[in-house]
Chains A and B, each alone.
Chain A
Amino acid sequence: MAKRTVDVAVIGSGPGGLAAAIAAKKEGAGNVLVVERDVEMGGILLQCIHHGFGTEILGADLPGPAYAQRFEQEAISLGVETLLDTMVLDITPTRQIVAASESSGLLEVQARSIVLAMGCRERTRAQITLPGARPAGVYTAGMAQRFVNVEGFVPGRRIVILGSGDIGMIMARRLTFEGAKVARVVEIMPFLSGLMRNYVQCLLDFDIPLQLGHTISRIIGRRRVEAVEVVQVDDQWRPVPGTEEIIPCDTLLLSVGLIPENELSRNVGVALDPVTGGPYVDERFETTMPGIFAAGNVVHVYDLVDWVTEAGYVAGKHAARFAAGDRAGQLDYVRLEAGENVRYVVPHVLTRDQLPGESIKLQMRARQPIEKPVWVELRDGEKRLIRRAERYARPGEMLTLVLPERSYEDVRQAETLTVNVLER
């Protein structure tokens, strides 16, 4: 088995991984190696050919592949090494990586620090236990996206989409562009799960109906999908009898959410948050295993690639510092808790004495939508540390609270901090 040693190994070359590799290199790491299972770098961005990437950090509205290529080129020019078409099979707590590839067989990499950047995967039909038959023609929206945009094939002629996630809405437009008929988008929640602007420019623009508070109660068709049964649900998500409607279609796309992909993390012993599905991390994106960091959608699912890139920068920088031996003994943590109307907040903990010399972003998702002005606040018991006004809070749109350096002293005094999203 081929063996080698690196300072920082990054698993995955999507936006999180590329940013981590770039930041690690800039922080002075000697060799930085990115391991990518696909034959080219960029991850899922390569199939996200639509606009909307880079508006926050590049000030440009780029399509996914262009965004990816920018960071890929920067990484290469900084001397980041890559192993393409290579799958990481296992990581050990001592940060040994075993990977397999067609060109180099099995190989072993000993890394001083690791950044997990495997991204996320789509929730599938089975996880929501859709009743009915099991014909061809049921795909996740992302799988359809790969077929249409990269492989060059359209998976169906008449399509129903379950779930109003961004990928689903974007595929509704994409398939319309390629001559398919999108009959309907069905969402079980009473509100949109993706971004409002995607609703406007992907559905409204093309008169694609969105049906909130409905779900698919049955898939019909033995060999290929022939129709789906749509039904209204009550506030407990139970089907309301008598509201069933049969919609003829040959394809059902699922856009029912994303889950961080953490098989490798779990196997190595990284503790995972059941709410996010990703590792517990501190503000440097270090996991519960020393020297193993995590960046991007592998931690929690972001709305915007720009923020994934930012997270990758933070993780990569600290991975490089760890690799350089910059670690002062056992760390003491301040817990950060999701309080009122907050489903989760990342990071999960803040290091009491190691807070970096830069402001820290606390990113969270609201539990319930509040369509009026809100406060996003950070508290230590009775004491409010900081707050920020937002015009509304929607579960589909991540909320950010920046913890400025001047608040660090307050953080150090605290045992547990809480974030709340409250009506103003």
Chain B
Amino acid sequence: MAKTTELICVTCPMGCKLTVTHEGDTILGIEGNVCKRGEAYAQTELVDPRRMVATTVQVVGGVHPLVPVYTTAPIPKPLIFDLLSELRQVKLRAPILAGRVVLEDALGTGVTVLTSRDLPAAPG
């Protein structure tokens, strides 16, 4: 039986309100999207909702005690807290360069976690 679901596209800052008509996982129609990315978003949001994740990991000997890290692609929503726990175990030693791989294929999702910035070692 066809069903409508209201979604808000989070792909870009515009935040289009999407009205998705679907039967189970099969999308019958989408209204409200300005661009094509909205369709793709609706498709994954219904079947396999995913989110980008950004957090910090511990650093030893840096100018700050933490370095920010981020996923280069969205990960399945139900895995967010597992990923956070995984990253809680990581401890990096300064100096650190931006783009350093913190986790490769995180939780088997194929998504990489990178550092967001350089973090110099603390002087002394």
Contact = CB atoms under 8 A, between A and B. Distances in A.
Q: Do A and B share a complex?
A: yes
Interface of A: 39-40, 42, 46, 49-52, 55-56, 61-66, 68-69, 149-152, 177-178, 195-197, 199-201, 205, 303-304, 391, 397
A49 B54 contact: yes
Given A196-B15, A391-B34, A65 B10 contact: no
A150 B117 CA distance: 12
A205 B8 CA distance: 12
A176 B117 CA distance: 23
Interface string B1-40: 0000000111011111100000000000000001000000
B13 A55 contact: yes
18 contacts: A49-B55, A49-B70, A50-B54, A65-B68, A66-B98, A66-B99, A66-B117, A69-B98, A149-B56, A152-B65, A196-B17, A197-B9, A197-B13, A197-B15, A200-B8, A200-B15, A397-B13, A397-B14
* Residue picked from A51, A56, A62, A68, most chain B C-beta under 10 Å: A51
The 4 A-B pairs of least Cβ separation, nearest first, read A196-B15, A49-B68, A65-B117, A152-B65
A62 B99 CA distance: 11
B32 to A, nearest CB: 8
Interface residues of B, number: 29
B64 A150 contact: yes
B46 interface: no
A197 B117 contact: no
Contacts of A62: 70, 116
Contact of A303 (B13, B16, B55, B117): B13
Interface core residue of A61, A63, A151, A391 (most chain B CB under 10 Å): A63
A69 B54 contact: no
B118 interface: yes
B52 interface: yes
Contacts of B77: 205
Contacts of A304: 13
A309 to B, nearest CB: 14
A55 B77 CA distance: 21
A66 B119 CA distance: 12
Nearest to B87: A177
B106 to A, nearest CB: 15
Contacts of A68: 117
A199 B12 CA distance: 13
B121 interface: no
Contacts of A151: 64-65
Given A149-B66, A152-B64, A196 B8 contact: yes
Nearest to A66: B116
Interface of B: 8-10, 12-17, 34, 51-52, 54-56, 63-66, 68, 70, 77, 80, 84, 98-99, 116-118
Contact of B68 (A52, A149, A201): A149
Contacts, number: 83
Contact of A197 (B10, B56, B64, B70): B10
A61 B15 contact: no
A65 B67 CA distance: 10
Given A200-B15, A201-B51, A205-B51, 13 more contacts: A46-B117, A49-B56, A49-B70, A49-B116, A50-B54, A63-B54, A64-B68, A149-B66, A151-B64, A152-B66, A177-B80, A195-B13, A197-B10
Contacts of A201: 10, 51
A327 B62 CA distance: 47
Nearest to A52: B13
A68 B68 CA distance: 13
A177 B8 CA distance: 22
Nearest to B15: A196
A407 to B, nearest CB: 25
Contacts of A177: 55, 80, 84
Contacts of A150: 64, 66
B83 to A, nearest CB: 10
Contacts of B80: 177
A63 B64 contact: no
B6 to A, nearest CB: 11
Q: Which of A149, A199, A303 has the most CB of B within 10 A?
A: A149
A197 B8 contact: yes
A38 to B, nearest CB: 11
Contacts of B12: 55-56, 197
B13 A51 contact: no
A39 B65 CA distance: 15
A63 B117 CA distance: 9
Contacts of A61: 52
Nearest to B119: A65
Contacts of A69: 98, 116-118
B15 A51 contact: no
Contacts of A66: 70, 98-99, 116-117
Contact of B116 (A65, A200, A303): A65
A174 to B, nearest CB: 8
